[in-house]
Amino acid sequence: MFVCVCVCVCVCVSKVLNRARKALPAEQLIWITAAQLEEANGNDTMAERIIKNGLKVREHTHTHTHTHTFLLPYEDYPCVSKV
């Protein structure tokens, strides 16, 4: 029962984060949080992909923040240190 509740919560959180990323594509905290959620569920590959996609989206939205500045506050997180 506990596993079912955790999976349901993770799915709901994932949906909310996906909507937030679409609404605010330049917001780094949303991308980092989504990557951390995937990482917490053991999806390290997906976490890395989310970070890379976040960087691409920021380039396409012409957000003039360098990659280093984007990731600096989160550099200690495993999902960020792999990128």
Q: What percent of the chain has pLDDT over 70?
A: 61
Confidence of residue 72 (pLDDT cuts 50, 70, 90): low
pLDDT tens readout for residues 6-27: 556 667 888 888 888 888 888 8
Confidence of residue 29 (pLDDT cuts 50, 70, 90): confident
51-55: long-range contacts, CB 8 A cutoff, minimum separation 24: 51/79, 51/80, 51/82, 51/83, 52/83, 54/21, 54/28, 55/83
- Report field, pTM of the whole predicted structure over 0.85: no
pLDDT tens readout for residues 43-62: 889 989 998 888 888 777 76
Domain 2-81 has CATH 1.20.1050: no
User: In the chain, where are the structural domains located?
Assistant: 2-81
